[in-house]
């Protein structure tokens, strides 16, 4: 069986329920008696009466009364031993959205804490957004921001989503698949990030079943086929492990289990395996009393069954970021069957299953932070920082998806502190994980005392030392290899800030140049005239206007004409320009809003012209560029420019060198270029006829004179037949 199946999976799956098993308020109250004070149970019951009255007459798509859904959500929370206010908020979580009950009403009846929880969980569907995707993104963004105030918001939301997934069969096919995809991309990873394993597993399997029903059914059928044949093996392993642990006087609970369907599918897909090639379909969990016993148990297990080399992980010494702790090992069981074993203490097991929710299991009503709470709140603080730097809700939600990627790498700072990063992280990701200022100023790094490039991918156990330099700043090319959201958003934020500052400076230069033609300047324009123009253009401040001019969204001459009106015989008129335009001087320090065209790569000394590209600023072209015919059709977008003779920056250009195919010719040319104090940014070789080749060098030069000297030096090489520069 192959892991991929035809995408036309529109078959209904028989085991997709439309209505879950009825769970009445009496059942909920009976369950709550196992851990809640009777007075608090009365509060929960009062919330039920209030919610039932508020939702009176409302039904779910399946036809059942709506109130059954909030009770089921509260039951999921009760299984995690959540506190009274969480249960009340779960029962009332839809009253603000679906009824006439307001937040103030809830605050008056159940207190501010419950009102805030319900408000945070509400779906916020009435959003002024352009499209459905943006509405969902903004809704999710607001939900995460509500989480920052109280982590219980997301616990309730996850429970709400879990029950909706359990009863998704009543929904139309397309809506079912959309909700399932959202669940797999967002909600299941969040549950994993918060360590809520049992919620994650259910969300993943239900999401998979609804998104790819045929694939789900095929894997289920394959599991059913092997279940009988492997049942005896599982029982045998359980007995042998349990017997050996008792011989060593180690008290332990041994639980054999089947890996959940979505994890099997992911392994098949990622490793391109057939189902029959998945060896560790079954796993064992061994629960003991203390961390010390975990390690003793591991030694006993390895004595019973031989471990697979390289498949051991110690998450007790180095916990996952979601607080998960356990020892993992893969063993070779009877008949060569691979078996995964997880060894953990009772407390570790509770945290592994409930994650952040285990906080309330041990400290009901006490909201003081434990380790999992600290980790979760740190993650939420990072989300808030990310939200501030994101350009839009859609960009924010895409960043969150990347941040929820579960694989991790563990590296060390020079002082021995462990840093946990996403798998595939680079030196730059590590630098930003330390601090944004360190990332911005990073110029290189030492990995295990060896100098390495900034793009080097980090591996487990490495010690990384970041080297910074005053005045250094992020490079846009970093975005091509960083993987962590903190690094990506920090780099984008810096570049966006630079672009905004540079666009304001360029806009001011352009506007002042245009106003000079009227024998005036910006400071001489009356305040009310400027304010009126800003209002007309829906801009809040002068800097915004200058930025719009610098980015090419408004023409400086047209803005200048509108800023210098005079009255002639009572009629509104404008002054006419009295002075010729002064060309705009170009330097190499304005790279964010003044860009060199890649089609012709102009350098100082070339005859050039500028073309405004809306949102990007000015693009500089060589006057002999082949694209000039296109720009001649839009003379209103031209700007007169010339090189600043004092500029000492370096510019990129391309030269084509035709050479005879002889050993070492590339090295000779490269040495000649280096000898003339030029850096090679890129090299590309094209074979011509077997006897000769064309080498295309991308170089950094100061001006045409510098380039001419380089080309003259290269012509002295005997194997060089022809050399010329690309100009588009």
Q: What is the 3-state secondary structure (H, E, C) of 39-69?
A: HHHHHHHHHHHHHHHHCCCCECCCCCECCHH
Stretches where the chain sits below pLDDT 70 are: 1-23, 123-149, 227-231, 279-280, 355-407, 565-582, 587-592, 615, 632, 635-636, 727-728
**Nearest 5°: CA angle at 155, between 150 and 157?**
100
407: three-class secondary structure by DSSP: coil
Length of the chain: 728
- pLDDT in the model for residue 197: 84
CA distance to 380, 573, 687, per residue, from 190 (Å): 11, 62, 52
- pLDDT in the model for residue 89: 93
DSSP code, position 498: H
Ordered domains of the chain (ranges, CATH): 25-215 (1.10.3210.10), 492-574 (no CATH), 584-643 (no CATH), 651-725 (3.30.70.260)
Predicted model pTM: 0.57
As annotated, the active-site residues are 97-98
- pLDDT in the model for residue 554: 79
Rounded to whole angstroms, the Cα distance separating 195 from 594 reads 48
**Nearest 5°: CA angle at 648, between 643 and 650?**
90
Helical segments of 322-451, H only: 346-354, 358-362, 371-389, 393-403, 427-434, 436-440
Answer whether 294's CB lies under 8 Å from 329's CB: no
**Nearest 5°: CA angle at 36, between 291 and 89?**
100
- pLDDT in the model for residue 387: 57
Question: What backbone phi and psi angles, to 5 degrees, belong to 649?
Answer: -75, 165
Crossing angle (nearest 10°) for helices 173-182 and 197-211: 140
- pLDDT in the model for residue 527: 84
- Say what the alpha-carbon torsion angle 531, 388, 155, 82 is, to the nearest 10 degrees: -90
DSSP code, position 519: T
Rounded to whole angstroms, the Cα distance separating 335 from 305 reads 12
Q: What is the 3-state secondary structure (H, E, C) of 570-613?
A: CEEEECCCCCCCCCEEECCCCCCCEEECCCCCCCCCCCEEEEEE
Q: In what helix (H) or strand (E) does residue 658 lie, and over which residues does it extend?
A: strand 651-660
């Amino acid at each position: 069986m192959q892991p991929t199946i035809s995408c036309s999976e529109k078959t209904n799956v028989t085991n997709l329920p439309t209505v879950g098993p009825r769970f009445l308020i009496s059942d909920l109250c009976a369950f709550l008696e196992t851990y809640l004070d009777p007075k608090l149970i009365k509060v929960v019951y009062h919330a039920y009466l209030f919610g039932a009255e508020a939702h009176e007459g409302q039904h779910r798509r399946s036809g059942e009364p709506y109130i059954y859904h909030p009770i089921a959500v509260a039951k999921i929370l009760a299984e995690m031993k959540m506190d009274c206010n969480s249960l009340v908020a779960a029962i009332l979580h839809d009253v603000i959205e679906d009824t006439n009950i307001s937040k103030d009403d809830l605050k008056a009846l159940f207190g501010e804490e419950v009102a805030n929880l319900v408000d945070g969980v509400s779906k916020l569907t009435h959003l002024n957004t352009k499209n459905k995707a943006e509405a969902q993104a903004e809704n999710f963004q607001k939900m995460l921001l509500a989480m920052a105030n109280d982590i219980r918001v997301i616990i309730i939301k996850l429970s709400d989503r879990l029950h909706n997934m359990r009863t998704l069969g009543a929904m139309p096919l397309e809506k079912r698949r959309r909700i399932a995809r959202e669940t797999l991309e967002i909600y299941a990873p969040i549950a994993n990030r918060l360590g809520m394993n049992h919620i994650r597993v259910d969300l993943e399997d239900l999401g998979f079943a609804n998104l790819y029903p045929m694939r789900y059914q095929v894997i289920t059928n394959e599991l059913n086929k092997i279940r009988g044949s492997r049942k005896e093996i599982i029982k045998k392993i359980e007995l042998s492990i349990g017997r050996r642990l008792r011989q060593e006087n180690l008290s332990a609970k041994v639980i054999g289990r089947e890996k959940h369907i979505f994890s099997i599918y992911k392994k098949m897909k990622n490793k391109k395996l057939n189902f029959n090639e998945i060896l560790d379909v079954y796993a064992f969990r061994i629960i003991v009393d203390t961390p010390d016993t975990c390690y003793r148990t591991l030694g006993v297990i390895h004595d019973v069954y031989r471990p697979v080399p390289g498949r051991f992980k110690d998450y007790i010494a180095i916990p996952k970021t979601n607080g998960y702790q356990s020892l993992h090992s893969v063993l070779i069981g009877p008949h060569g069957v691979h078996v995964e074993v997880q060894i953990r203490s009772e407390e570790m097991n509770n945290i592994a299953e409930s994650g952040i929710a285990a906080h309330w299991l041990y400290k009901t009503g006490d909201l003081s932070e434990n380790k999992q709470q600290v980790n979760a709140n740190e993650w939420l603080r990072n989300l808030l920082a990310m939200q501030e730097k994101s350009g839009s809700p859609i960009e924010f939600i895409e960043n969150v998806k990347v941040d929820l990627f579960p694989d991790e790498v563990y590296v060390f700072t020079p002082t021995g502190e462990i840093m946990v990063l996403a798998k595939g992280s680079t030196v730059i990701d590590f630098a930003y994980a330390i601090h944004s200022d360190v990332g911005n100023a990073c110029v290189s790094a030492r990995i295990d005392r060896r100098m390495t490039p900034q793009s080097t991918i980090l591996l487990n156990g490495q010690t990384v030392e970041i080297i910074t330099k005053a005045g250094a700043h992020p490079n846009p090319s970093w975005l091509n290899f960083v993987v962590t959201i903190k690094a990506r958003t920090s780099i984008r934020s810096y570049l966006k800030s630079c672009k905004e500052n540079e666009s304001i400076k360029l806009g001011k230069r352009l506007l002042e140049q245009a106003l000079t033609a009227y024998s005036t300047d910006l400071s001489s324009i009356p305040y009310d005239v400027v304010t009126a123009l800003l209002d007309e253009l829906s801009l809040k401040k002068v800097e915004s206007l200058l930025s719009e001019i610098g980015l090419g969204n408004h023409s400086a001459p047209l803005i200048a004409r509108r800023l210098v009106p005079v009255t002639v015989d009572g009629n509104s008129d404008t002054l006419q320009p009295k002075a010729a335009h002064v060309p705009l001087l170009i330097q190499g320090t304005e790279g964010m809003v003044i860009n060199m065209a890649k089609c012709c790569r102009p350098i100082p000394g070339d005859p050039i012209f500028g073309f405004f590209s809306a949102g990007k600023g000015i693009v500089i072209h060589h006057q002999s560029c082949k694209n000039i015919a296109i720009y001649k059709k839009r003379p209103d977008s031209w700007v007169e420019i010339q090189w600043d003779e004092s500029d000492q920056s370096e510019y990129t250009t391309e030269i084509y060198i035709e050479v005879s195919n002889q050993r070492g010719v590339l090295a000779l040319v490269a040495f000649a270029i280096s000898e003339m104090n030029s850096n090679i940014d890129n090299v590309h070789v094209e074979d011509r006829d077997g006897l000769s080749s064309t080498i295309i060098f991308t170089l950094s030069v100061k001006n045409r004179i510098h380039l001419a000297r380089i080309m003259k030096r290269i012509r002295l090489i005997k194997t060089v037949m022809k050399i010329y520069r690309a100009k588009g």
